[in-house]
Homo-oligomer: A and B are copies of this chain.
Amino acid sequence: MKPVKVGICGLGTVGGGTFNVLKRNAEEIARRAGRGIEVAQIAARSSNPQCDATGTPITDDVFAVADNPEIDIVIELIGGYTVARELVMRAIDNGKHVVTANKALIAVHGNEIFARASEKGVIVAFEASVAGGIPIIKALREGLAGNRINWLAGIINGTGNFILTEMREKGRAFEDVLAEAQALGYAEADPTFDVEGIDAAHKLTILASIAFGIPLQFDKAYTEGITRLTTADVGYAEALGYRIKHLGVARSTAVGIELRVHPTLIPADRLIANVNGVMNAVMVNGDAVGSTLYYGAGAGMEPTASAVVADLVDVTRALTTDPTNRVPHLAFQAEQLSDHPVLPIGECESAYYLRIQAKDHPGVLAQLASILSERGINIESIMQKEAEEHDGLVPVILLTHRVKEQRIDDAIAAFEALDDVVGSVVRIRVEQLN
């Protein structure tokens, strides 16, 4: 069979990696796919020193690739929402299949993109948009297709995990590690997307849709970053037998879907608590399979290219498939998506780590405990540290049982109204992830 012709739009890190992997492993890929995959055109504003594309036609106009009649599959690797969206729509309208690594685009405009793709009978594949080279989209959409998914929880931002790992292992402060991550190139000059959890929320939105068969609803995801985490809390968590990880959590409950990104205490003996540095991991719990975990590099030139190329092989195979019988974009048939609502954070349920800075007076602990008990919140454990020398305040750390978040909000407000409590209460969610 003659080779499939693909066009790479964007020759940055992932684009360069994709070109290199397609070239280096061309023979192996053809032995798998049954036909070659040939880069017929590249659109790039500048060349990439890590990638020798001599001999491949290059344009600076991405739309030229979308309009190129020779090309079967357009690979969108330019990022962002604006030009990328136009490019993908143009490719679809031209009857071309699309492979993209763009989580922001899929999380925000995916519903519209998939609707148009279905109309035109083409595939938009997006394995590379979540967790780099880990084939987590495929695991959820196909590998676990027999399951009703109960929940998933993932370390899906490598920069954030690198920062938390350094804070724990070396006792370094957040700002300090962030500056190093920027110097190493792990974090962007503007690190907001990473450290405020927006990047993770994009990915979680995608994972939740394909896990539960709901439309993409990025605007409903609760997002809390790691910027306010202190080494003190990292240390107290450790003393209690926990690690703090920045997790995306999605859970299906009787009343709706929880969709939340936040720092989370996880028991130290869980595998996912031991995923360190820039690595990613996603746990998925299904009613038949129980808990599973998928681990690997969540970003980088070739790990992400690995996912792009896997999608290219899939699409290559699907070129001769009955379009009504493909794996649906969001795992479930488009007309059978669920309208189960995404819950506001106040309606979500978890256990909590609360740190209260209290004056060293007798009776404080009793006041705190009675505020919780009046609200039906059970205490799992209490740890009271020595008074700190410089201010004479006593850190009191409480772990609660699982409870609806709004009840904890209420308890925190009551804590902060006490004369013996100083400043804001620190609240970090706790998940057992059995």
Contact = CB atoms under 8 A, between A and B. Distances in A.
A271 interface: yes
Contact of A325 (B135, B290, B320): B320
Contact of A296 (B291, B319, B326): B291
Given A271-B271, A332-B31, A25 B146 contact: yes
| Copies of this chain in the oligomer | 2
A144 B310 contact: yes
Contacts of A288: 17, 21, 25, 133, 302-303, 305-306, 309
Interface string A290-331: 111111110010110111111011100101111011111001
A32 interface: yes
Contacts of A143: 127, 135, 138-139, 310
A44 interface: no
Interface residues of A, number: 68
Given A146-B312, A146-B313, 10 more contacts: A24-B287, A25-B148, A135-B139, A135-B144, A138-B143, A147-B306, A286-B306, A289-B307, A291-B297, A294-B294
24 contacts: A25-B287, A31-B333, A32-B331, A32-B333, A132-B289, A133-B144, A133-B286, A134-B292, A142-B313, A145-B310, A145-B313, A146-B313, A147-B306, A269-B274, A288-B303, A289-B302, A289-B303, A289-B307, A290-B302, A292-B295, A292-B297, A293-B296, A317-B326, A319-B325
A21 B133 contact: no
Contacts of A148: 25, 28
A306 B291 CA distance: 12
B310 A33 contact: no
Contacts of A321: 317, 320-322, 325
B145 A332 contact: no
B322 A320 contact: yes
A34 interface: yes
Q: Which of A31, A33, A135 has the most CB of B within 10 A?
A: A135
A422 interface: no
Interface string A7-48: 000000000010001101100110111100000000000000
A87 to B, nearest CB: 22
Interface string A263-292: 000000101001100000000001111111
A331 B33 CA distance: 9
Contacts of A271: 271, 274-275, 295
Contact of A34 (B21, B144, B146, B333): B333
B294 A290 contact: no
A54 interface: no
A82 interface: no
A309 B133 contact: no
A158 interface: no
A21 B296 CA distance: 30
A383 to B, nearest CB: 26
Contacts of A297: 289-292
A275 to B, nearest CB: 7
Contact of A31 (B17, B296, B326, B336): B336
A152 B346 CA distance: 44
A138 B291 CA distance: 18
A24 B146 CA distance: 10
B146 A138 contact: no
A225 interface: no
